[in-house]
Amino acid sequence: MRIDGDWEGWLGFFLDGVAAIAEEAVDSARKIFALVAADRERVLAHAASSVSSLRLLERLPRQPIVTIALVMQLLDTTKPTAGRAVDALVDAGVLIETTGRKRDRAWAYQRYLDELRDGTELDER
């Protein structure tokens, strides 16, 4: 195509690729939106939910891995309140502890991260 000067063919090929990627991006965005909405409903229905846990949930898409210190900063709150917000999201099944330690722990919004990663894995040969 490039050597023969078939610019229309090359442009069509390129635009087909752009359209396919755009469709995948829209599909991913819809899935992520549905995931966050379902998790919001889950947190609202959970007995331990609070305003702080809901505020934290709303910040997780921009910051899907958190520590207590980071939650304190994100919510502009105290350590006990940050800990309760994290605990509520863990109890609701939204956050997962990732370090396995007793101190300096981190939690991940794992289903969100998995959805972002979906379709980006390299095939292992």
Domain ranges of the chain: 7-117
Phi, psi of 107 (to 5 degrees): -125, 145
Nearest alpha-carbon partner for 74 in 111, 41, 109: 109
Residue 85: predicted pLDDT: 97
CATH number given to 7-117: 1.10.10.10
Query: Which amino acid, residue 42?
Result: R
pLDDT score for 123: 53
Residues composing the chain: 125
- Tens of pLDDT along 77-112? 999 999 999 999 999 999 999 999 988 999 999 999
pLDDT of 105: 96
Greatest mean pLDDT among 29-33, 72-76, 120-124 lies in 72-76
Rounded to an integer, the average pLDDT of 62-84 is 97
Q: What's the pTM?
A: 0.77
In the chain, % of residues over pLDDT 90: 68
- In angstroms, the CA 110 to CA 88 distance is 16
Q: What is the mean pLDDT of the chain?
A: 90
Higher pLDDT, 1 or 33: 33
Count other C-beta atoms under 10 Å from residue 97's C-beta: 12
